[in-house]
Structure 1
Amino acid sequence: MIVSGKGRAPPRRFKMDLSIIIVNYRTYDLTKQTIKSVLDKDHPFIYEIVLVDNASDDGSLEKLKKDFSREEKDGRIRFIINTENKGFAHANNQALKETDSKYVLLLNSDTVIVDDCLERCMEYMEKDKKIGALGCKVLLPDGKLDKACRRSFPTVGVSFYRMTGLSKLFPKSERFGRYNLTYLDENETYDVECIVGAFMMVRSNTIEEVGLLDETFFMYGEDIDWCYRIKAANWKVVYYSDAQIIHYKGGSLNKKEKPKMIYEFYRAMYIFYNKHYRDSYSKTVTVITYLGIWGMYCLKRFINFFR
């Protein structure tokens, strides 16, 4: 959608209220649990689940299609089947291109929806038409907050405080605790710069304006980049504490793939810096940043090897 200087185009009519996009990759038990946490609730809105299988070769797709064959027939679940894994962003974009809902939810396959989370989030976004993306409170299985659910953009300064450990030493400092906003009350609701892709509810009108996920990112960083573009288009990004999910973090990764995921994590930092910050800093700062990113990558691989 092209936006003129006179303001945003008027909202269009949609077939559904919410499309929930879940990407499965060899995580049968977790994905099934996620889907059931949605289906087991009586939602007062029209929704669908779009399950994208990223070329799983462990039989998980076949089992999921069997488990939810009734829901597939009645239209509550649609399957998109890939023969090649081109990454998380690519898989979500496939589903996004086929949805016709007022809101879209990116939902990780290792999460569980708690109570009326979805209804609460949609109602909150309905009250404020300026909200482009909303994230809820994301809890780990032990009940602690998944700190990634509310963040600042990884500027050079913010990243430096995190890499040097200053953010952990002074979590209540507004200066040093900016990476995960640890100085803010997790039980309050407020505008943030970034939310996590494990649960990201986005207004479709916003997506039409800012575009799809950047497929240059394979698995990490695409959510931060999306939030950056959403904020740049003058939409709000909100952390909403009155709705919750449980995130079985890391459950969707197996041990053999961990080295690749470590690489993709730091590669995402490199891509994001080049895309949004490189032109704003001197060549010296850029070189130092590159050394920091790939130095941390090497250190992480070294530690992971001995584990």
Structure 2
Amino acid sequence: MPSDPAVPTPGGDLTSFVVVAADSGPLLEECVASVLAADAVVELVLVDNASGDGSIERVLGAHADDARMRLLRNPANLGFGPACNRGAAVARGDVFVFLNPDCIAPRDLATRLRAALATDPRLGVLGVQVTDPHGAPARGNRRREPTLRRAMVTLSGLSRLESRWPALQGVEAPAAEHDGLETVEAVSGACLVLPRAAFERVGGFDEGYFLHAEDLDLCRRVRDAGFRVAIDPRVRVAHAQGTSSRSRPLFVARHKHRSLWRYFTKFDPAARNPLLRAVVFAGIWAHFVAQAPLLALRGRRRAAR
């Protein structure tokens, strides 16, 4: 039965979706419509990071009368994590779903997520099987702690040999053989689900990240707080990956490299070695510099269309 479009009652059984938009294009309308079509009691907090592409106005034109949706406008692009925190601060549900603006939520998503959370009170983060628009599983659904060693194994391609030599574990983790909840170290940030209690226990997203790696950081701190991080592969969410960032690839890449450096210095024991720290810093920014000309050209081509 569809949700009552009246203002949701705060507290139990209310699932709060937080969607952050930043020039997110036409898929934002589809994302919002899919959330509001839920078969459970939901609210949607739409946080706008100063979009100028008309997407917010189109959403308001279609859903301004739906009391389940609230819009927060930021005067500038604050970044993903800070915007999520602002959305969570006004959300009224006992479960938060942080959903990318280029994801489409199935009608039963909230119902199935709450059922999964109810199976284990220790669940602090729940992920889903994020897929591309054609249904193929996306990368990053199951991730390990991205230590320096694992990152190097992944970059070298040696992680493809993990099934034969377990010592060559990379950042990506294989799927479990069973069909139930899988305990993992980190899940995809495209659809990130947390009980309010766990989110508040760790203080939400680390606002030192502007874009990328804030999901890894959150999963790490949730695990450190004694909660379980898991994925339910039976729940699927389609994601048109990168829709919001394709028009500004250099901007996104710069923040991605900055976030990788922050995560490394915050959590990796290797960062305590001054020599390794210097080598990693040089490697991260050398990689960015090598990419920059092609990314800048790509951005100019998209802007000219």
| TM-score grouping bracket, smaller chain normalisation | 0.7 to 0.9
1:49 partnered with 2:44: yes
Partner of 1:135 in structure 2?
127
SS at structure 2 position matched to 1:147: coil
- Check conservation: 2:38, 2:109, Cα contact below 8 A: no
Partner of 1:231 in structure 2?
223
Partner of 1:87 in structure 2?
79
1:221-266 residue CA offsets vs partner (Å, 9 max, x unmatched): 11111111000001000011110100100111233x1101011111
When residues 186 and 24 of structure 1 are mapped into structure 2, their CA distance, relative to the original with a 3 A threshold, is: farther
Deviation of residue 24 (structure 1)?
1.2
Contiguous gaps of at least 5 residues in structure 2: 1-9, 299-305
| 2:33 aligned to which of 25, 28, 36 | 36
Whole-angstrom distance in 1 between the partners of 2:173 and 2:253: 23
Using structure 1 for the length normalisation, give the TM-score.
0.87
Deviation of residue 145 (structure 1)?
1.1
Partner of 1:273 in structure 2?
264
Partner of 1:285 in structure 2?
276
Deviation of residue 23 (structure 1)?
0.8
- Computed over aligned residues only, the root mean square deviation of the Cα atoms, in angstroms, reads 2.1
- Check conservation: 2:15, 2:95, Cα contact below 8 A: yes
Whole-angstrom distance in 2 between the partners of 1:184 and 1:281: 34
When residues 199 and 180 of structure 1 are mapped into structure 2, their CA distance, relative to the original with a 3 A threshold, is: same
- Check conservation: 2:14, 2:95, Cα contact below 8 A: yes
1:70 partnered with 2:61: no
Partner of 2:54 in structure 1?
59
- Check conservation: 1:177, 1:183, Cα contact below 8 A: no
1:134-189 residue CA offsets vs partner (Å, 9 max, x unmatched): 0000011232211212101111111111222222x326454434311036459553
Q: Which amino acid aligns with 2:92?
A: D
SS at structure 1 position matched to 2:235: strand
Partner of 1:162 in structure 2?
154
| 2:211 aligned to which of 219, 237, 255 | 219
Using structure 2 for the length normalisation, give the TM-score.
0.88
Q: Which is worse superposed, 156-165 or 187-196?
A: 187-196
Whole-angstrom distance in 1 between the partners of 2:174 and 2:224: 24
Give the total of aligned pairs: 288
- Check conservation: 2:270, 2:276, Cα contact below 8 A: no
Partner of 1:296 in structure 2?
287
- Check conservation: 1:191, 1:236, Cα contact below 8 A: yes
1:258 partnered with 2:253: no
Whole-angstrom distance in 1 between the partners of 2:242 and 2:32: 18
When residues 86 and 179 of structure 1 are mapped into structure 2, their CA distance, relative to the original with a 3 A threshold, is: same
Contiguous gaps of at least 5 residues in structure 1: 1-12
SS at structure 2 position matched to 1:148: coil
SS at structure 2 position matched to 1:84: coil
SS at structure 2 position matched to 1:20: strand
- Check conservation: 2:24, 2:244, Cα contact below 8 A: yes
- Check conservation: 1:186, 1:241, Cα contact below 8 A: no
Partner of 2:4 in structure 1?
none
Whole-angstrom distance in 2 between the partners of 1:15 and 1:151: 30
- Check conservation: 1:171, 1:183, Cα contact below 8 A: no
